[in-house]
Chains A and B, each alone.
Chain A
Amino acid sequence: MSAGRVAATRAEYCVVACAEAWRDAGEILASPMGLIPSIGARLARRTFSPDLLLTDGEAMLIGPEGTPEGWLPYRDHLALVTGGRRHVMMGASQIDRFGNQNISCVGDWARPRRQLLGVRGAPVNTLNNPTSYWIPRHSARVFVEKVDMVCGVGYDRVAEHPGAGRFHRIPRVVSDLGVFDFGTPDRSMRIASLHPGVTLDRVLEATGFALAVPDEVPRTREPTAEELRLIREVIDRRNNRAREVAD
């Protein structure tokens, strides 16, 4: 492995793109939901964001080697959310161009065509601490013009509530095709970078609304040799990431 380095896979670009969400975050709780964000958060802590806190997925805060360092049952987790010292990366069944997110149901809420999880903690997350999203299969069914139920609050909605919205921020959306942010004048979604091998046309085709496209579309950065080593030999030795994102 160390001689003749194998090129990074798409899943590994996704891991690094997720990890970047927690760069310069300081001493806060990283709450990754889902496999690729979890690998990303652990990678960030082992490299450029060593002060991050992470849980075991239940009630314990654990160090990189799994040593418990604190207790965070749900009730305290909810308090920590409102205190703001947290950056969560959630999933999304639907997300629209202003970052409104849906995990509750598809179709009319009163009689859904497809019942999903429910709003969970998306409303409290988005109003209180930075909330990013991870979408393993970028498609026009997920990136929609308008979500059926606003669980996670987007920039257009929060603009109507300037007081309660003062802690609202959606730093990034990472998909298997690229990285997206809301750095436009009207805070609509734009391409921040495309993963290597992904064409602009493919992304535009797989997105159900008009994405803002910068004049020069950057590429998602290469993982460093050390990052690849950590992902492959320490954090995800069984290569579970390849099952979530194929090449």
Chain B
Amino acid sequence: MSDKTMSARDVVARLESGMTIGIGGWGSRRKPMALVRALLRSEITALTVVSYGGPDVGMLAAAGRIRKLVAPFATLDSVPLEPNFRAAREAGALELMEVDEAMFMWGLRAAANRLPFLPVRAGIGSDVMRVNPSLRTVTSPYEDESGHHETLVAMPALRLDAALVHVNRADRAGNGQYLGPDPYFDDLFCEAADTAYLSCERIVDTAELTKAAPPQSLLVKRLHVTGVVEAPGGAHFTSCAPDHDRDEVFQRLYASTPWPEFAERFLGDDERAYRSAVAAWHEEEA
């Protein structure tokens, strides 16, 4: 098995402006924030971002890196509205493909299965069809009991150039494990992508993975993974149960601080600088 460990900076060096990038997690939950911060320190821009949006979307939008966003929402969970996403939308700063949560999942499934689309009922009758004129419908070739052929949305595959996800544990080959209550859709993001980068709280030996957790916690398989980054606290300030909860006070600071000021104070030269800036802020607040 090849050793796929690399740094967050190595990951970003393999990404390019204009790419379509899927970001795992959900809202303000287990987001690959260390990888997002590394992206923010780079010059990469004009991205198409595919995400169940949280502060990942907010920060990249605030920094002007998103050309197009594919998302059903953006939220900080405990702070319902993502302030930087809102500002970007109200300024007309990004193109949006706004789809339903289930449509989004089926778009990833279609890509993972190398299908051009999958039929979904969600979206019919809603303005999702109005604001996405490129969406098409498909009519069932089979009739139902009343002789009717149902018309459904043909959700196009959300194929990704790269996926970024964060999990609790991984081995050096890219087998990824989640230990919290919800896998979200991180396996799907990896399967829908040409390249996938996995950050984790801790890299362990392969044998360690199943010593303390059941086999069904092994979410991501190494054949879908290009690079593994050890990033303790790499989901901060989003939650990463059971390793750490969401940093609610810091999230409130993020939500109430203008982006340039926040970036100036916290982004720093690397992840170590970020962590010490956060620690210093917490100390001041205590």
Contact = CB atoms under 8 A, between A and B. Distances in A.
A124 B99 CA distance: 10
B53 A164 contact: no
B214 to A, nearest CB: 12
Contacts, number: 139
Given A74-B185, A153-B125, A124 B90 contact: no
B264 to A, nearest CB: 25
Given A60-B181, A74-B185, A119 B73 contact: yes
B215 interface: no
B74 interface: yes
A75 B105 contact: yes
Contacts of A60: 181
B272 to A, nearest CB: 32
A151 B125 CA distance: 9
Interface string B23-62: 0001000000000000000000000000001000000000
Nearest to B126: A123
B245 interface: no
Contacts of B105: 75, 78
A4 interface: no
Contact of A119 (B72, B86, B144, B185): B72
A108 B148 CA distance: 36
A165 B128 CA distance: 16
B152 A124 contact: no
Per DSSP, are chain B's interface residues mostly helix, strand or loop, or mixed?
loop
A4 to B, nearest CB: 40
A150 B75 contact: no
A128 B101 CA distance: 13
A151 B126 contact: yes
Interface in B90-125: 90, 92, 98-103, 105, 120-125
30 contacts: A60-B181, A73-B183, A75-B105, A75-B185, A109-B130, A111-B90, A117-B80, A118-B72, A119-B100, A119-B128, A120-B100, A121-B72, A123-B103, A123-B124, A123-B126, A124-B100, A124-B103, A124-B120, A124-B123, A126-B125, A126-B126, A127-B122, A150-B125, A150-B126, A150-B130, A151-B127, A157-B125, A164-B125, A165-B124, A165-B125
Interface of A: 58-60, 71, 73-75, 78, 81-82, 104-105, 109-124, 126-128, 149-153, 157-158, 160-165, 167-168
Given A75-B185, A127-B124, A161-B125, 17 more contacts: A59-B181, A104-B127, A114-B90, A118-B72, A119-B100, A121-B72, A121-B100, A121-B122, A122-B100, A124-B101, A124-B122, A124-B123, A152-B126, A163-B149, A164-B125, A164-B151, A168-B125
Interface of B: 26, 53, 71-75, 80-81, 85-86, 89-90, 92, 98-103, 105, 120-128, 130-131, 144, 148-152, 181-185
